[in-house]
Each structure stands twice: as C-alpha cells, then as structure tokens.
Structure 1
Amino acid sequence: MGAFSPIGPGSTTALLLWGRALRDFGDGFVAVLLPVYLLALGLSAFEVGVIATTALLGSALLTLAIGLVGGRHDHRRLLLAAAGLMIASGVAFAVIDDFALLLVVAFAGTVNPSAGSVSVFVPLEHAVLARDVAERDRTKTFARYSLIGALAAALGALAAAAPDHAATLGIGRLAAIKAMFVLYAALGLAGSLLYARIPPRPPAPHGPRPAPLGPSRAIVVKLAALFSLDAFAGGFVVQSLLALWLFQRFDLSLTAAGLFFFWAGVLSAFSFPVAAWLSRRIGLINTMVFTHIPSSLCLIGAAVAPSLAVALALLLARAALSQMDVPTRSSYVMAVVTEAERPAAASFTAVPRSLAAAASPALAAALFAASLQAWPLFLCGGLKILYDLLLLVQFRHLKPPEER
C-alpha cells in the first residue's frame, strides 16, 4: 500500500490536518447528540429533520460565497472567519432552546448534522492542500486528510456517550449535552490558532479579475450535477438521521450508538489509504464507482435486516466502503481543472452537493413521521447506485494527469 511520507509539524499541510482533526472531532459528537438534544428540548422528529435541512442549506450558501471570493482573498483569513463562526455556533446551541432561534443558528452557523465533509472549511482547505503538494502526492495527501478527519470524527462519536455518564458527577443529562456544545466552540477556538499560523498567500497581481471558472467550466458543471445526485441521496441518511433510525427501530442507547459510530468512523478512516492505493492501480473514477455500489447494497440490506446485529453488521460493512470516494473525488476535481480554478471548482462542486443534501433530511423526517422508517435507506442506496453508473459513463475517459 505504501507508507505516507512524513509531514513537518509546522508545515501548512500539517496545520490543515490538525485543524481538520479538531473540527471533525466536534462534528462527530454533535451529529450523534443533535437529535437527542433537540428531542430533549421537546422538538418532534420532523422538526429535527427541518433543523438538519436548514443547517445543510446554510452551509451550502456559505460555501457558495467562499467559491466566489476564495480565488481573490487570502485563504488564511477566510479560514479564521470560518473558525469564528464555529465558535459562535457552539455557544449559541448551548444557550438557545427556542425552535425558531435554533433554525437561525443552524442556517448561519457551522453545526454539521452529517459529520462528513459538508463544510464551509472544505473548499478552502482543498485549495490550500492542492497548492501545497506535488501532483504525484495529491491523492495520497487527500487520503491522509480524509483519514485524520474520519478518525477524529470516530473519536467524537465515542465522546457523544459522555452525557450518559454525567450523572455520576451530579450533572444532568441536558446540561451535559449543552456542555458538549461549549466544547465544540472551544475546538473552533483551537482551530483558529492553527489557521493563524498558515503563511499568507502572495497577493494577486493587479489587473482585471479572472472569472472564478474558465476553461474547465463544462467539466465542473457536469461533476457538480452528478455530485448533487449523490449528496441528495446521502441526505436521506445523514448521521443524525441514521442515529434517529437506530434509536426508533431498535431502541439503541446513546452509549451503544456512540460506540457504533466510533467503529463506523474507524472503518471509514482506514478505507482512505486503501482508496489511494487502489486508485493508483485502477484509476480514480473506477475506485469511486466500484467501492460505492457495494456500500449502497449494504445500506439497502440494513433497511430490511431482521435484527439489530445484522443491521449493524451491514452498516459497518457500508462504512468500510462508502467513503472511499471522498479523497479520490477531491483529488479528481483538483486534477481536472487549472490551478487558478481550484477554489471555485472545490466550492462549485460542493455547493450543489450541500443544496441537494439539504433537501432530503426533511423528506426523510416526513417518512419517519409517516412510520416509513426504512424508506430513507432504500432511497439513499438506490439513488447512489444510479449516481455511480452515471459517473462511470460520463467520466471514465477523462483521466487526471498522473493516469494519462
């Protein structure tokens, strides 16, 4: 498989990796705790889905704004602004219990119900990483970036069990969950200290500002459309809703859910270096497609599983396969556009993903409310298989530089 090359502790790449780790640790426990917290505040399952949809929609619009300005402004300053928003989001969720105000915070903040790579930070970090490494190391670097984030998210999911054990310290469960949102804000502060050490980008030369997308516009539009289908499918089973399904279908405890999402995150994490190794042998597109389809079949199987053990086994198998397209997808987008287009390409492929993903949690919540709990899993798996087949047909002949 090949070992990852070492990275200097003070390098730009190392700073981004540590920043990703802190952020994903917070996202990991927030995604599990969010439905529990909102239900404890007296909200319905449908309202939980609406807040998840609102959070994803707000993230999409923020990411769009980053795509429009990211090519002209210092990425370090934009990352610091995003970290400030993360701090504010954690504090606001800890002190607000009104549904309407929570909707506002979810829309304007960074709370992530998917515990994945749907974030305003992502296009900025992708552009900086792609600029900081050689082409031959790009996929390997993105695999490392995804690996560290997934391991941190897995540990975060494990930490979501902390409120269940708070009673031994005389702390109420709701107060303990609020404290976890304060911890989320503290992680944003720690991330801002890391981003502050990233060297500033040299100022752009004076003259007419180039369009965010130029010669690669058609490629980016096609990829964005396909990624949107994938994200719309994934929105039916974002981590918060998958946790809700496990709670309602099998009466899973918060501790058991945290343990399950921890191991799912570990399996996802170690699939990333496997994806980098596999992509060097069969190509980025083939790696994305031929690992994704079996994972979708496992999800469909979990929807009809006769017992908790079978369902968890299938979901863990899905976790080991479903995220192998993450580093390969990021690397592919950065490879098939010009360097000047990279911030816009990362954003314009992420924004439609976020918008599409924002639509489906509310639909999934409506299916939950109609006692059709298995249907979100069916829809997610079936639509993802359709996406994989379309991606293979459209892009199997467009190779990144290292595959030509």
Structure 2
Amino acid sequence: MSSETGSKPATGMPLVALLYLARGLRGFGDGFAIIVLPAYMTALGYDAAAVGIVATASLLGTAVLTLGVGWIAPRHDLRALLIFGAGLMAATGLAFPNVEHIALITLVAFIGTVNPSAGDLGVLVPLEHAVLARSATDARRTQVFARYSLIGALSTAAGSLATSVPDVLVAHGTTRLAAFRLMFYAYAALGAAGALLYRNVPHAVGETKAPVAPLGPSRNTVYKLAALFSIDAFAGGFVAQSLLVLWLFERFDLSLSAAGLFFFWSSTLAAFSYPVAAWIAKRAGLVNTMVFTHIPSSLFLILAAFAPNLYLALGLLLLRAALSQMDVPTRTSYVMAVVTPAERPAAASVTAVPRSLASSISPAISGVLLTTAFSGLPLVVCGTLKIAYDLALLFSFRHVRPPEEQG
C-alpha cells in the first residue's frame, strides 16, 4: 500500500493527518520536558556545566540512534521503527524520575528522546520525513512540511505552558522534585499515545524494492548539505533551549512559570513563521528563504546577549524566534527534493545525524561559558557561526534548484 496523501490507515484518518497528530503529541512533550529537565537538575543541586554535559549526551545519543535508523529504514518496515521510537520516548519518561546521580541522568539522556534544543531532532524525524515526502507532489511538498513544522511548533508552545503545572502542584503541598517527576511521567504517557497512533500506519510505506545502497546518485550533494548543516547545528548547540532557559534563570532570575510563558510565545511565533516561509519560498526559492530569514535572526540573538534588562532581552529573543525557524520546513523540503525517492530515508538521516553530532559538542562548551564573567558569550558565538553558515550555504547551493523551481 503506497502512502499517498489521501490513503487512509485502519483509523480512517489520512496518513498525513495521523503523522501530524503524532508530531503534535511529541511536540507537546518536548515543550515542557526541555524546560523541566534543567530545572529538575538544578533542584537536585547540579550547576550549568552539568546541564551542558547532559545536553551533550542527549544530542550525541540522538545522533547515533538516528544514523542507525536512517541506514536500515530503506530495508525495514517503517511502521515498526516508528513504534520503536515512540516506545523509547515512553521509556525515557519513566526513567528520568527514578535517577538522581549525574552518571545515570547522563545515560538516560544519551539513550532517551528528550531533545534539549529547539529544533526537531530524534529517531522519529527521518522516518516521518520520508513518509511525508512520498505523500505529496513536488508542488505541495514544502507546504506539507510547513504544516508539519507548524503543528510541531504550536504543540511545543502549548507544552511550554504546561511548565506552570509544577508550581501549581507545589502550591498544593507537593514537593518540587515530586512535581518534576510527575511531568516526566506525563511525557512517558505521550510516548505511549504516539505508539498507539503509529500502529495504524500501513506496513508498506517505503519503496517496494529496497535500493542497493542507502545513498546513490545524490551522495555528494547530501554529504555537502550535511557538512553545512553541521555548522549550523554546532552553532545552535550553544543556545540549546535547555541552556537558554538556564541563561534566563541565572542572568535575569526568571521564574519557571515565566520561562514557560516566554517559550510559549517564542514557539508560537516560530510556528506561524512556517507557512510564511512556504509562501516566501514559492516566490524567492528555498535556498534564498533559508538564508535571508536566518541572518537577521542571528543578529537579534547577538544583540540579546548585550541586553541590559530582561524585557529587552526577551523582546530580541522573540524577534529572533519569529525568523530563526523559517529554514526548518524549507531545509527539509530542499533535501527531499534534490535526492531520488529511494534515497529519502537515508538522506533525511545523513543530513540530520551530523547536525546532532555537531550540536552535541557545543552545549558542554556553552555550559562552561555560562559561568564566565560575560554569560551572554554563547549567544554571540552562536549568532556569528550561524551567519557564516548562511553565507556558505548561499554560495554553495544557490544554483542547485529543486524541480518546482526549474524551467
């Protein structure tokens, strides 16, 4: 059974809609987990350097698992792999509340699915991308990914608001650590719900015949893109969302509830930037959209590092949020467009894994930089490196056009 847009799994729900719903559940869990995790570690007595190490372990583990799944996906049932990923999310939520030693927290972070960055990384991403890419025509592909990203960001925004729940529980007599643990159990429940949804995905969603090699004629293009994306991800790791939360906690004494409200609005702005990005891409092209929305967002991030008060810092970070994620659906659509259909699962993985590996290095460095006299240094480093990446991407791929931009 091919996974066309209109095909319906056992639920009667269109396959694309089912994947959108699963993405929404995962996004909601990520929305509160990435804020609760550093708060949980702080409550246990750990400092910024320890949080940075855990963030690094999480991203490194994500990279290893995503690489493995991307390589076997062309030859295996995508439904089984999707269910495995959701089951891993449930296991992560069950494990975190039951460990307190830094070594065990780091191990769970490495194996598990909590994503400390604002981007959508993880074992499920290349699998869902491959299914979605086969479910849309060239003309609709960017729009499909824009909606996918929109749903994920709005769900993440809603999840950010859920970080007020621990404060409510504490006000009613629950200890702070117990409240954080309940949030992790809620994360596990969302993973289990995702697994139930993936059970309705048709078995044969990939190619009817597996390719001889995961990557073929598009290998060089994919490797060049992966190298560039790794620069962007290395830069982004300096302000992984869990570390940005910590910077706001320590620099401006921001409360957990206020942090949740801020990330709700930043995620909401990012969400509504996705359809705007699809609209711009139709007129300016995918690469131009990626580059010329990304550079201003990096400038806002650099300025935020020097903000003298909380309100100016939050304002600049919100401006950054309105622009910084426009490259997400356009980048995904571009990768899926410049490779053959048989190469899409591997291409999604190969471009995602170096990003995870690169972004896993910088949080540990950022955690140390946060303890220096100028705690905004990670923001400056991130913004500068991202601008360099944008210029390199424009120079290297401005003439490599997807099918819808040719002719």
TM-score by length of 2: 0.96
Counterpart AA for 1:160 = T
Question: Which residue in the other structure is 2:190 paired with?
Answer: 187
SS at match of 2:75: coil
Question: Which residue in the other structure is 2:374 paired with?
Answer: 372
SS at match of 2:74: coil
Equivalent residues of 1:26, 1:187 under 8 A apart = yes
Q: List alignment gaps of at least 5 residues for structure 2.
A: none
Kindly indicate whether residue 98 of structure 2 is the aligned counterpart of residue 101 of structure 1. no
Counterpart AA for 2:275 = P
SS at match of 1:199: coil
Kindly indicate whether residue 330 of structure 2 is the aligned counterpart of residue 292 of structure 1. no
How far the C-alpha of 1:116 sits from its partner, in A, is: 2.2
Determine the C-alpha separation between the residues in 1 that align with 2:100 and 2:17: 37
Counterpart AA for 1:125 = E
Counterpart AA for 2:39 = V
Equivalent residues of 2:157, 2:268 under 8 A apart = yes
4+ residue stretches of structure 1 with deviation over 4 A? 5-9, 202-206
Equivalent residues of 1:7, 1:14 under 8 A apart = no
How far the C-alpha of 1:165 sits from its partner, in A, is: 1.4
Q: 1:205 to 1:296 in 2, by over 3 A?
A: closer
Q: 1:200 to 1:218 in 2, by over 3 A?
A: same
Determine the C-alpha separation between the residues in 2 that align with 1:146 and 1:202: 21
Q: List alignment gaps of at least 5 residues for structure 1.
A: none
How far the C-alpha of 1:46 sits from its partner, in A, is: 0.6
Task: Write the deviation string for residues 324-372 of structure 1: whole angstroms up to 9, x where unpaired.
Answer: 0000000000000000000000000000000000000000001112333
SS at match of 2:204: coil
Matches within 5 A, 1:101-250: 101-201=104-204, 210-250=212-252
Q: 1:380 to 1:74 in 2, by over 3 A?
A: same
Equivalent residues of 2:88, 2:113 under 8 A apart = yes
Determine the C-alpha separation between the residues in 2 that align with 1:349 and 1:202: 21
Question: Which residue in the other structure is 1:18 paired with?
Answer: 21
How far the C-alpha of 1:168 sits from its partner, in A, is: 3.1
Determine the C-alpha separation between the residues in 1 that align with 2:14 and 2:361: 38
How far the C-alpha of 1:161 sits from its partner, in A, is: 1.6
Question: Which residue in the other structure is 2:395 paired with?
Answer: 393
Equivalent residues of 1:24, 1:115 under 8 A apart = no
Q: Of 62, 86, 91, which aligns to 2:89?
A: 86
Q: How many residues align?
A: 399
Task: Write the deviation string for residues 46-87 of structure 1: whole angstroms up to 9, x where unpaired.
Answer: 111000000000000000001110111111100000111111
Q: Of 336, 345, 350, which aligns to 1:348?
A: 350
Determine the C-alpha separation between the residues in 2 that align with 1:81 and 1:388: 35
Task: Write the deviation string for residues 4-38 of structure 1: whole angstroms up to 9, x where unpaired.
Answer: x9998701101110000000110110111111100
Determine the C-alpha separation between the residues in 2 that align with 1:24 and 1:203: 25
Kindly indicate whether residue 66 of structure 2 is the aligned counterpart of residue 63 of structure 1. yes
Q: 1:203 to 1:271 in 2, by over 3 A?
A: closer
Determine the C-alpha separation between the residues in 2 that align with 1:365 and 1:122: 27
Equivalent residues of 1:298, 1:315 under 8 A apart = yes
TM-score by length of 1: 0.96
Equivalent residues of 2:306, 2:376 under 8 A apart = yes
How far the C-alpha of 1:170 sits from its partner, in A, is: 2.0
Question: Which residue in the other structure is 1:315 paired with?
Answer: 317
Equivalent residues of 2:74, 2:206 under 8 A apart = no
How far the C-alpha of 1:209 sits from its partner, in A, is: 5.2
Question: Which residue in the other structure is 2:32 paired with?
Answer: 29
SS at match of 1:97: coil
Percent of paired sites with the same residue: 61
Equivalent residues of 1:115, 1:153 under 8 A apart = no
Q: 1:369 to 1:7 in 2, by over 3 A?
A: farther
Task: Write the deviation string for residues 239-295 of structure 1: whole angstroms up to 9, x where unpaired.
Answer: 100000001110011111100000000000000000000000000000000000000
Counterpart AA for 2:81 = L
Determine the C-alpha separation between the residues in 2 that align with 1:173 and 1:109: 23
Determine the C-alpha separation between the residues in 2 that align with 1:103 and 1:202: 35
